[in-house]
A and B are shown apart, each in its own frame.
Chain A
Amino acid sequence: MGDVQGLVLHPRILAAVRKAKLHRHEEVLRFSPADLERLTHLSAKDVGHLVREVSEAVRQRSHAATALQLLLGDCPAELKVKFLSLGCPVLDEFLRGGVPCQGLTEISGESSAGKTQFGLQLCLTVQLPEEWGGLNAGAVYICTEDAFPSKRLTQMAQQFPTRGLVPVQVTKKIRFSDQIFVEHTADKDQLSKCIQSRLPILLERGVVKLVVIDSIAALFRGEYESRETARRAKDLQSLGAQLRKVSQKYSVPVVCINQVSAVVGKRRGNGNISSSQKVIPALGLVWSSLVTTRLMVTRTEHTVQCADGSPAVVRSLEVLFSPHLPNTTQYYIVDAQGVKGLR
């Protein structure tokens, strides 16, 4: 936040502003012109000048470009949206490039639907060089439910080079398990502390370019009583805003894994839910307003033969909403190597 005294304004105006104890840009903007006149004893014209200069100074912080410049990448780096590959060409195509490095991506689903597998796979692909769809940095994996599935991660990391997505020379240089920072938190205050103080240290140095939270629901479903919905809503808002801030400040994807709730009776007609699903992502409307891209994974009853001959359950990945994706479904399987889309 800038200081008003640093602006190029008439000394008389600056003196009046100082006298009125308005120091920061924000403090000037929170008053209406009439209030400012009263506070500073300046004329309407002077206040107009003051507001204009302050606004101009603040505006320089936000970024602007035309849509064409955005498309061609000819814009401030902060506005460019990169995508993190899922490590599978079929799924990347389905998601138009992968997980966007802007905003919150939510993966929800019933237990054992394969949510965590996506989280783990992203932790591996983020370490790839940028030309291979990664971000060339590590990941932070915040566990709130279970212990971190390190065995599974090791298995996926070992098998990753054999998937043939990237040349072996590239994967050989990366020590996959070394760049994943695991954090266990048990309550939302700890999580908040982690996001506000510990996470920025890693992000600031560029060591980490992916944040996965597995799962967001575990913290918020247990801790509150049913009459405390207002407090829960406020805490969720605040957490969501913090995560979005992290995502936008460092342009890193934030992936939240969420549980589901069953839809009971009349709630379906609430104007809130898109199709006739039996389950919807947990945490309600407040949280969904904070999510940018919402994905849902489910197990189907079908199985297919894997490459090694063992059967694998066919699962579906559905886009519930996203600013840039149609509501469609893609089938995939999980095998020893990880998540794979089916053609």
Chain B
Amino acid sequence: MSRHIGSYPLPPYLKSKLLAGGFSTVEDLEDVKPVELSKELKISPEEALEVLRVVQGEQKDPSSASSPDDGVKTALDMLQEEREQGCIITFCSALDELLGGGVPLTKITEFCGAPGVGKTQMGMQLAIDVQIPSAFGGLGGEAVYIDTEGSFMVQRLEDMAKAAMEHCRHIATVENNREQLEAMANFTVEHILSRIHFYRVHDWVELVALVNILPEFLQQHPKVRLVVIDSIAFPFRHDFEDLSLRTRLLNGLAQNCIRLADSHKAAVVLVNQMTTKMGHSGDGQAHLVPALGESWGHASTIRVLLFWEAGCRYARLYKSPSREEATVPYQVTVAGIRDVCIPNNMQDLSTATKEEGDSLGEHSQRKRPRVS
């Protein structure tokens, strides 16, 4: 049971002094006072205090995996936890189905796509959808939106928030559900917008720093269930001579994101750009692949590719641990991300994107409430 001093995160010179002084295990330090230790080892009282704090503090820490109950979970526990956590719906039922109910919490989801396909719109839509009150089967959470490109337009967000609110109000009045009607009193555009915490960062240094600080912010705002980084690619794509530094930074960033997602039960959504890769499948043709290189592909748990085909937008699940690879159509309307009209009416597909400017009521009413 007694842990060796060498295994504690202490500076090497302190470790060697401790060992030389005959302190080799935790027990040896158990009842030692800082002053005694500093005299014994001829180190400063501050250092002695630090040593004792590290050693004794860690021993008392209940999260250390000594007891089998905490720290270790069975797969069944995890399955149940994951079921209870819920997802962030996208307002496009085909896309939700593709993702298995929506964008999952505690995971990293990456949306990749060419310019103008609707990546930023997706980020904004999710930042609104995460706030849908629990009476409607939503999460009632808050969102953090990190903009690295300067493409966040609050006017656009207002449109989408208005549409989401009207959609929910419509459901509440149709179903005449008292609980839902009460929830609507708080679910206003102002309410939605005031719960999206926006950050504008200008380069990778600021992005790395912000992600380092974010856990503190999430502790102060425990309702945050979504962190969007739009986009992860931009700060890392220009003027980076040292590619190994880039890989290292991105890995560090991904690790921090995973930790963030896991410890705060939040979904992390990363937006990524596309790049051209030559001769991808041996036919000498150029193909579009997500930017930031091969190793970045491991960073996110779920990867969704957004692309255009024949005038319609499609989303393809590219990587997922639990869902099948599939492709579904979606569209971006004034109201936000929506389903493409009725699937059996194929003529509509070609005109769907041209109707984007049309009134939003028609599309939003078609969407039924999610029952969880």
A residues in contact (CB < 8 Å) with B: 1, 12, 25-26, 29-30, 32, 37, 41-45, 51-52, 54-59, 61-71, 78-79, 81, 96, 100, 102-103, 237-238, 240-241, 244-245, 247-248, 269-276, 284-286, 288-289, 291-292, 294, 320-324, 326-328
Is there an interface contact between B205 and A285, defined as CB atoms closer than 8 Å?
no
CB nearest to B197 among chain A residues: A66
Nearest 9 pairs of A and B residues by beta carbon: A321-B116, A271-B307, A324-B153, A58-B209, A44-B9, A55-B212, A68-B193, A241-B238, A324-B156
> What residues of chain A lie closer than 8 Å to B274, measured between beta carbons?
272, 285, 289
CB distance from A65 to the nearest CB of B (A): 6
CB distance from B337 to the nearest CB of A (A): 13
Known pairs A291-B115, A323-B151. 6 more at Cβ < 8 A?
A67-B127, A70-B154, A70-B198, A103-B151, A289-B115, A327-B356
> What residues of chain B lie closer than 8 Å to A78, measured between beta carbons?
200
Is there an interface contact between B252 and A32, defined as CB atoms closer than 8 Å?
yes
Is there an interface contact between A275 and B307, defined as CB atoms closer than 8 Å?
no
Is there an interface contact between B150 and A244, defined as CB atoms closer than 8 Å?
yes
Is there an interface contact between B205 and A100, defined as CB atoms closer than 8 Å?
no
A-B contact pairs, 16 of them (CB 8 A): A52-B212, A55-B212, A58-B206, A59-B206, A64-B199, A66-B198, A247-B150, A269-B310, A270-B288, A271-B308, A272-B308, A285-B276, A288-B114, A289-B234, A289-B237, A327-B353
Q: Is B23 an interface residue (CB 8 A)?
A: no
Q: How many A-B residue pairs have CB under 8 A?
A: 188
CB distance from B222 to the nearest CB of A (A): 16
> What residues of chain B lie closer than 8 Å to A67, measured between beta carbons?
127, 145, 154, 157, 192-194, 196, 198
Q: Is B50 an interface residue (CB 8 A)?
A: yes
> What residues of chain B lie closer than 8 Å to A274, measured between beta carbons?
116-117, 308, 311, 353
Is there an interface contact between A288 and B288, defined as CB atoms closer than 8 Å?
no
> What residues of chain A lie closer than 8 Å to B238, measured between beta carbons?
237-238, 240-241
Is there an interface contact between B288 and A45, defined as CB atoms closer than 8 Å?
no
Is there an interface contact between B150 and A326, defined as CB atoms closer than 8 Å?
no
* With contact pairs A55-B212, A56-B213, A64-B198 given, residues A272 and B190 touching in the complex (Cβ less than 8 Å): no
Q: Is B326 an interface residue (CB 8 A)?
A: no
Is there an interface contact between B275 and A43, defined as CB atoms closer than 8 Å?
no
Interface hub of B196, B233, B237, B334 (most chain A Cβ within 10 A): B237
Total count of chain B residues near the partner, CB < 8 A: 71
Q: In the complex, A25→B207 CA distance in Å?
A: 13
> What residues of chain B lie closer than 8 Å to A29, measured between beta carbons?
205, 208-209, 212
CB distance from A260 to the nearest CB of B (A): 16
> From residue 139 to 157 of chain B, which have CB atoms closer than 8 A to chain A?
145, 149-157
Q: Is B202 an interface residue (CB 8 A)?
A: yes
Q: Is B210 an interface residue (CB 8 A)?
A: yes
Q: In the complex, A54→B152 CA distance in Å?
A: 27
Is there an interface contact between A241 and B239, defined as CB atoms closer than 8 Å?
yes
CB nearest to A60 among chain B residues: B209
CB nearest to B194 among chain A residues: A68
B residues in contact (CB < 8 Å) with A: 9-14, 46, 50, 54, 114-117, 120-121, 127, 145, 149-158, 190, 192-202, 205-206, 208-210, 212-213, 233-234, 237-239, 245, 248-249, 252, 273-276, 288, 307-311, 332-334, 353, 356-357
> What residues of chain B lie closer than 8 Å to A322, measured between beta carbons?
116
* With contact pairs A41-B13, A68-B190 given, residues A271 and B288 touching in the complex (Cβ less than 8 Å): yes
CB nearest to B158 among chain A residues: A71
* With contact pairs A43-B54, A285-B114 given, residues A326 and B249 touching in the complex (Cβ less than 8 Å): no
> What residues of chain A lie closer than 8 Å to B9, measured between beta carbons?
37, 43-45
Is there an interface contact between A248 and B202, defined as CB atoms closer than 8 Å?
yes
Interface hub of B54, B192, B196, B198 (most chain A Cβ within 10 A): B198
CB distance from A73 to the nearest CB of B (A): 10
Is there an interface contact between A289 and B196, defined as CB atoms closer than 8 Å?
no
> What residues of chain A lie closer than 8 Å to B46, measured between beta carbons?
12
Q: In the complex, A100→B115 CA distance in Å?
A: 18
Of the residues B158, B308, B333, B353, contact of A273 by C-beta under 8 Å: B308
Q: In the complex, A25→B199 CA distance in Å?
A: 19
> What residues of chain B lie closer than 8 Å to A96, measured between beta carbons?
155
Interface hub of A69, A96, A270 (most chain B Cβ within 10 A): A270
Is there an interface contact between B149 and A292, defined as CB atoms closer than 8 Å?
yes
Of the residues B198, B212, B239, contact of A51 by C-beta under 8 Å: B212
CB distance from B68 to the nearest CB of A (A): 26
Q: In the complex, A334→B83 CA distance in Å?
A: 60
Is there an interface contact between B115 and A52, defined as CB atoms closer than 8 Å?
no
Q: In the complex, A292→B310 CA distance in Å?
A: 23
Q: In the complex, A57→B199 CA distance in Å?
A: 15
Is there an interface contact between B210 and A62, defined as CB atoms closer than 8 Å?
yes
Interface hub of B46, B127, B201, B356 (most chain A Cβ within 10 A): B201
Q: In the complex, A109→B158 CA distance in Å?
A: 31
CB distance from A253 to the nearest CB of B (A): 12
> What residues of chain A lie closer than 8 Å to B154, measured between beta carbons?
67, 70-71, 81
Q: In the complex, A297→B233 CA distance in Å?
A: 29
CB nearest to A284 among chain B residues: B276
CB distance from A57 to the nearest CB of B (A): 8
Of the residues A12, A55, A64, A237, contact of B237 by C-beta under 8 Å: A237
* With contact pairs A64-B198, A241-B238 given, residues A292 and B308 touching in the complex (Cβ less than 8 Å): no
> What residues of chain B lie closer than 8 Å to A1, measured between beta carbons?
205
CB nearest to B127 among chain A residues: A67
CB distance from A240 to the nearest CB of B (A): 7
Q: In the complex, A61→B201 CA distance in Å?
A: 8
Of the residues B11, B206, B233, B307, contact of A42 by C-beta under 8 Å: B11
CB distance from B124 to the nearest CB of A (A): 8
Is there an interface contact between A321 and B115, defined as CB atoms closer than 8 Å?
yes
Q: In the complex, A288→B275 CA distance in Å?
A: 11
CB distance from A131 to the nearest CB of B (A): 20
> What residues of chain B lie closer than 8 Å to A68, measured between beta carbons?
190, 193-194, 196
> What residues of chain A lie closer than 8 Å to B114, measured between beta carbons?
271-272, 285, 288-289
> What residues of chain A lie closer than 8 Å to B308, measured between beta carbons?
271-274
Q: In the complex, A276→B252 CA distance in Å?
A: 42
Is there an interface contact between A65 and B198, defined as CB atoms closer than 8 Å?
yes
Is there an interface contact between A55 and B357, defined as CB atoms closer than 8 Å?
no
CB distance from B313 to the nearest CB of A (A): 9
Of the residues B10, B157, B233, contact of A43 by C-beta under 8 Å: B10
